[in-house]
Chains A and B, each alone.
Chain A
């Protein structure tokens, strides 16, 4: 997975016009769709859950050295706003510098986690965040190694629906699935 080339995710990444914001609005719509798909898939594969705008120039999808093209700041802003409007990112601060990335929606995540727990018969057990996120047992799970901030959001969502309780004991965060 680490060796996946971005152009394997989307051939558009090797297409120079992909990096120019298209003035034709119909074309632009398709271009933005392609970018959003590419970015979310990239984040899912690499388990990228947070993004800092200051790191934008180093973010691999935003440039392609092979064809010598990169997104300008204006295009990056437009992309981020597009993702936000689709519910795929949430800004953490008012200045829109850091954001949380949702390649799955919160509902989808909650469902995924609860299904995984249930399929292993782990209801009514207590687990720590750490073992759920990084333990060997969860290696095959989608949520394995995701950002703790995101994980907490998912568990809070489960808590809202009465499917889990989140607590903290001795500095460690834990959850009991109901």
Chain B
């Protein structure tokens, strides 16, 4: 179907809006490779455009028939019934989703709000003259205008996504470059930079596609390495919800892999606290020492509630409460439960 491709200068029509673009895309005729390699593909409300580095553009017309233009097309004929877009740099899912959105909106069939007067007159004549169908047309017209204004409102959002994607690409390029040219950045800077990238969501994330059945196991490793650094900053223990937030920033997946951690002898493990809350901690975390320290803290303050402990040693309140209860279970602390709240004292019984 490559014969449906036609050259264009890339100017947008009146009322045509750019939706998104993606680099690293090649076009195949059926499954055969063509000369159209690794360019940037753009989705507009009306068409799909492709351009290479020299900004020459091929235009794909979304109709059933062959191109009607007089200019010679890049492909005179095609033996296949389909065109393939190869996304070498990712972005395929997003692009596909947006294509589907645009196909639903059918903005290319909407008459622009201010068209020529003759067109307008003819349209309105038609709609006035033809009763019910005229009303139907009018309603449809209104609907289309609404669609346009809604998608116009989302235009900003799409632009933002676009910019984020650009940043992503730039960061990735730099990440790759830094891998090759270690001498340009000091190892500290490299590490720091890579951690920024990690929070942006790069560093070759493990995906279901790349790891297949080993998905959860590989994911466990990745999460562990990510967490090890974070946990050192947060006093060795974070709740599952905190971890989920941080990991989601990096990859947006679930944490079923967490249960594998202990088996793989990773430096981080999942722990279920007595209230059912799940949290992560470093495996070299020493429970006895931890509880003793907490008891000392409570002793110095004569008594403590979970809020106070949380503030004092910088852990979440839920975890502080767990720690206090754990110390109570070990006989180190006892509780005072009154209308003044739940407090813990050193166990003087």
Contact = CB atoms under 8 A, between A and B. Distances in A.
Interface of A: 12, 15-17, 19-20, 22-24, 26-27, 30-31, 34, 68-69
Contact of A26 (B331, B337, B340): B331
Contacts of A30: 349
Given A20-B334, A31-B334, 14 more contacts: A12-B349, A16-B303, A16-B345, A17-B335, A19-B336, A20-B338, A22-B349, A23-B328, A24-B329, A24-B331, A26-B331, A27-B328, A27-B331, A27-B334
Contacts of B329: 24
A20 B336 CA distance: 6
B124 interface: no
B347 interface: yes
Contacts of A69: 336, 338
A30 B348 CA distance: 10
B330 to A, nearest CB: 8
Interface of B: 303, 328-329, 331, 334-338, 340, 343, 345, 347-349
B306 to A, nearest CB: 16
Contact of B340 (A15, A23, A31, A68): A68
A172 B334 CA distance: 54
A16 B349 contact: no
B334 A24 contact: yes
**Interface majority SS on A: helix, strand, loop or mixed?**
helix
For the complex of A and B, the 8 pairs showing the least CB-CB separation, nearest first, are A30-B349, A16-B336, A17-B336, A20-B337, A17-B334, A17-B345, A27-B349, A20-B336
A24 B340 CA distance: 21
Given A16-B343, A30-B349, A34-B349, A24 B336 contact: no
A86 B32 CA distance: 93
A72 to B, nearest CB: 9
B349 A31 contact: yes
B335 A23 contact: yes
B58 to A, nearest CB: 74
Contacts of A23: 328, 335
Nearest to B327: A24
A22 B334 contact: yes
Nearest to A32: B349
28 contacts: A12-B349, A15-B345, A15-B348, A16-B336, A16-B343, A16-B345, A17-B334, A17-B336, A17-B345, A17-B349, A20-B338, A22-B334, A22-B349, A23-B328, A24-B328, A24-B329, A24-B331, A26-B331, A27-B328, A27-B331, A27-B334, A27-B349, A31-B334, A31-B349, A34-B349, A68-B338, A68-B340, A69-B338
Contacts of B303: 16
A112 B336 CA distance: 41
Which of B334, B340, B345 has the most CB atoms of chain A within a 10 A radius of its CB? B334
